[in-house]
């Protein structure tokens, strides 16, 4: 159950139902950086929306009453085997995006950024991510401009509307 607003009240709702109904709900997104590059992941083909598309390092929904930082740390480990990073909160952003299959993400997102060491271990969970890569912000912008269909709607929104807030650039 994730926190979502129904008739102005924040209540626990099943994640799939929140997306099917387009309910405004809480989310968390993380961008891990290393030496001027951002770690992005290609979503596993078994995901119920946007399978095979490239997204930011990690994104998820907090469980009911789970603090955003705890959620971000938990999900980094579950999705990519990443633990021990210092996450810096960059504030909240809100977006609404059609993610296909009749589903809408209307998310209020706590965004976190972390700096990784060169030797940070990665162990992607194949049920979550089918690939990862490091890419500069400039190259990511350029590739999204040329191949937008390869990327999740929220990653495109983050870079188009919130890059300064997230990356300070």
Give the residue numbers marked as catalytic.
59, 107
Cα 13 from Cα 62, distance rounded (Å): 11
Cα 81 from Cα 43, distance rounded (Å): 15
Residue with tokens 């990653």: 155
């Amino acid at each position: 159950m994730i926190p979502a607003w129904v008739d102005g009240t924040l209540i626990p709702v099943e994640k799939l139902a929140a997306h099917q109904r387009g309910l405004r709900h809480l989310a968390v997104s993380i961008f891990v950086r290393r030496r001027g590059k951002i770690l992005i992941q290609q979503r596993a083909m078994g995901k119920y929306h946007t399978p095979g598309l490239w997204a930011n390092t990690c994104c998820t929904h907090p469980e009911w009453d789970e603090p955003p930082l705890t959620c971000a740390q938990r999900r980094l480990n579950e999705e990519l085997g990443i633990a021990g990073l210092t996450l810096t909160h960059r504030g909240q952003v809100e977006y609404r995006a059609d993610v296909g299959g009749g589903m809408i993400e209307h998310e209020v997102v706590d965004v976190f950024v972390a700096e990784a060491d060169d030797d940070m271990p990665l162990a992607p969970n194949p049920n979550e991510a089918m690939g990862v890569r490091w890419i500069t912000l400039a190259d990511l912008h350029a590739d999204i401009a040329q191949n937008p269909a390869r990327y999740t709607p929220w990653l495109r929104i983050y870079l188009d509307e919130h890059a300064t807030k997230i990356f300070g650039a």
